Structure 1
Amino acid sequence: MKLLASTDFAVRLLMLLAHRGGEGPLSVEMLSRELGGLSRHHLHKIVQNLASMGLVETLRGAGGGVLLAKKPEDIRIGSLLAALEEDCALVECFREDGACTLMPVCRLKGFLGTARRNFYRELDQRTIADCLPLKK
């Protein structure tokens, strides 16, 4: 299963915020640099999405920036990916307006749906905290 680039950046953003949590809010400029030069426009969209999910808070003004709204150990990876990828059709028959001519007899959709659910269920055993470097 291939994740959307925006999902990849969202997960890495949460990991970065968790890793640097004690530093206070992190600026968009700093986050953009740390995420390999991700454009500010793309980063703003990702931050807005994560904020609407209740995972990050944004603070305006001097000293403002982005910070985690939940503890890293409370953010389950599988649930996060499922929420970020909910509009992404794995194959044509997963689309609402899908044009699959095999639909009445094909069983592939069921197999893929089960695999996707198992993928998320397996990842739900891990949290953002589990993705952080081990402390020495």
Structure 2
Amino acid sequence: MRLTDYTDYSLRVLLYLAVRDQGLSTIQDISDAYGISKNHLMKVVQQLSELGWVETVRGRNGGLRLAEQTRARTVGEVVRATESDFALVACLPDQNGERRPCVITPQCRLRSALEAARHAFLAELDRHTIGEVAGPQGPLAALLGIRAIIPVVPVAPVAPASDNPVPIA
């Protein structure tokens, strides 16, 4: 089974945001990290946002972040939501439940084997969550060019070193 580029890009966006973990990312950040067209990613992000899996923040300092519950989503859920057709052959039902007739349908064993394979494929994807496949974050972050976000901690002023200590006001 081959997934569409759209599904591939959807998974990549979710992985990037899961690895990034803190702060906001831009579509340009993700485009640069993977070498994917920004225009394609805009469509993907729009759907992921509509599904509630990605939060978008508008404005000058805006960007994207993974919605809190998305780490627990399975890869299978993402694939089902983004893939347009699971009919491996014409006699299997498409997304609308329609199938093309075939003269050997009454005696065909191939169809049931293909349906079982499709079911097994999705069942395996359902065993893995976005959070799980995004780990370990350190090595993935390095490959994606993501630098760790270090929180800014205020530091108390230090008195200059001298023979006559001067109090700091």
* Same fold at TM > 0.5: yes
* TM-aligned CA deviation for residue 108 of structure 1: 2.1
Is contact 1:73-1:128 (8 Å) kept? Answer: yes
Structure 2 segments unaligned to the other structure (5+ residues): 139-169
TM-score normalised per structure 2: 0.69
RMSD: 2.1
Aligned mates of 1:76, 1:110 — CA distance in 2: 25
Is contact 2:6-2:44 (8 Å) kept? Answer: yes
In the TM superposition, what whole-angstrom CA distance separates every residue of 1:94-124 from its partner, at most 9, and x where no partner exists? 3425354433432322221222112111221
Pair 1:33-2:32 in alignment: yes
Aligned mates of 1:43, 1:67 — CA distance in 2: 14
Aligned mates of 2:11, 2:137 — CA distance in 1: 20
Residue in 1 that maps onto 2:113: 111
CA distance 1:90–1:130, change in 2 (3 Å): same
Aligned mates of 1:80, 1:25 — CA distance in 2: 21
**Higher Cα Rg: structure 1 or 2?**
2
Pair 1:10-2:3 in alignment: no
Structure 1 segments unaligned to the other structure (5+ residues): none
TM-score normalised per structure 1: 0.84
Aligned mates of 2:124, 2:72 — CA distance in 1: 16
* TM-aligned CA deviation for residue 4 of structure 1: 1.0
Is contact 1:25-1:65 (8 Å) kept? Answer: yes
Aligned mates of 2:17, 2:43 — CA distance in 1: 16
Aligned mates of 2:81, 2:29 — CA distance in 1: 26
Aligned mates of 1:52, 1:135 — CA distance in 2: 26
In the TM superposition, what whole-angstrom CA distance separates every residue of 1:67-98 from its partner, at most 9, and x where no partner exists? 11134531111222122225343222234253
Aligned mates of 1:51, 1:115 — CA distance in 2: 31
Aligned mates of 1:57, 1:100 — CA distance in 2: 45
CA distance 1:64–1:98, change in 2 (3 Å): farther
| Aligned match for 2:87, one of 74, 89, 93 | 89
Give the letter aligned to residue 15 of structure 1: L
Pair 1:19-2:13 in alignment: no
CA distance 1:98–1:70, change in 2 (3 Å): farther
Q: Say which is worse superposed, 75-84 or 96-105, in terms of deviation.
A: 96-105
Is contact 1:9-1:35 (8 Å) kept? Answer: no
Residue in 1 that maps onto 2:45: 47
CA distance 1:108–1:44, change in 2 (3 Å): same
